[in-house]
Chain A
Amino acid sequence: MTTNTEKYTHELVFALRMRDVTGDRIGEILAEVESHIAETGEDPREAFGSAKDYARAVSPGRVRWFTRSIISAGVLAAAASWLFGNSVLSLILGESAFYGIPAWGALLLALSIGAWWCWWIRKMRDYIVDPRSGKRVI
């Protein structure tokens, strides 16, 4: 069963992620909410307002680039996959890939984009850490 507090903290994580708040900071905010609620026994929505409003209160003026990053990552992955498929097929058929680019050139390009994509995703990975235990939350 999901408690009120769990439901609220999940919504809060989403709202904070959308506002580009770092994992460490999110962990801190969640711990504050949980600790306060445990102490007062209040309903989290009653004490902190809606998750969206509270996220705005603790991160005023943040740029919302997270959605854009996810979309860019998706588009880039799709482009690299298409390029990879196209070049492999051209290699098998012994043709040039497109616009006269040799198949091996297109394959090299696809692999470079793929490698860069993996590096970028690793760099974007940002875990939420609970400051009380030092453990990863999600």
Chain B
Amino acid sequence: MDDRIWPSEWLRGVLSLCVLAVIADAGDKGTHGYAIARQLESRGLGTVKGGTLYPILNRLENDGLLTSAWIEGDGGPGRKLFTATKSGHSYLVTRSEEWSMFVTSANNLISSGSNS
């Protein structure tokens, strides 16, 4: 596991798209907050705290890209499961294409600067 700490402004720009991608990847069974944070960490995005994650989840849900439901926990206080909606999936497709274009442009610019 990579415990590198990325500049926070990089994460701010892309974190909500990554969160949506993790949830979409979980499919119809959905996934919960802690599992999302663990997944983000294991995929190399570093540690994402609850205080950052839940406001993003709330925003995505308000935008209609996610739905959520509480399920009972085994002895614990229950879990909130998040599932991507249809518009969440199509938003992800559009945005990930745009993101790739953006990253390519940024890479070209940065590499031309660093190679000169």
Contacts and interface: CB of A to CB of B under 8 A. Distances in A.
Given A32-B50, A37-B50, A39-B76, 19 more contacts: A32-B33, A33-B54, A35-B32, A35-B33, A35-B76, A35-B78, A36-B33, A39-B33, A39-B79, A40-B34, A40-B37, A47-B49, A47-B51, A57-B51, A57-B55, A58-B55, A58-B58, A131-B70, A132-B70
A58 to B, nearest CB: 5
Interface of B: 32-34, 37, 49-51, 54-55, 58, 70, 72-73, 76-80
Nearest to B76: A38
Contacts of A53: 51
15 contacts: A31-B78, A35-B33, A35-B78, A35-B80, A36-B33, A37-B50, A38-B76, A39-B32, A40-B50, A47-B51, A49-B49, A54-B51, A57-B51, A57-B55, A132-B78
A33 B80 CA distance: 11
A35 B73 contact: yes
A51 B112 CA distance: 45
B58 A38 contact: no
Per DSSP, chain A at the interface is helix
* Interface range on chain A (Cβ under 8 Å from partner): 20 to 34
Contacts of A117: none
Contact of A38 (B37, B49, B54, B77): B77
Enumerate the 5 nearest inter-chain pairs by beta-carbon distance, A residue then B residue, closest first.
Answer: A48-B51, A47-B50, A39-B34, A132-B78, A49-B51
A95 interface: no
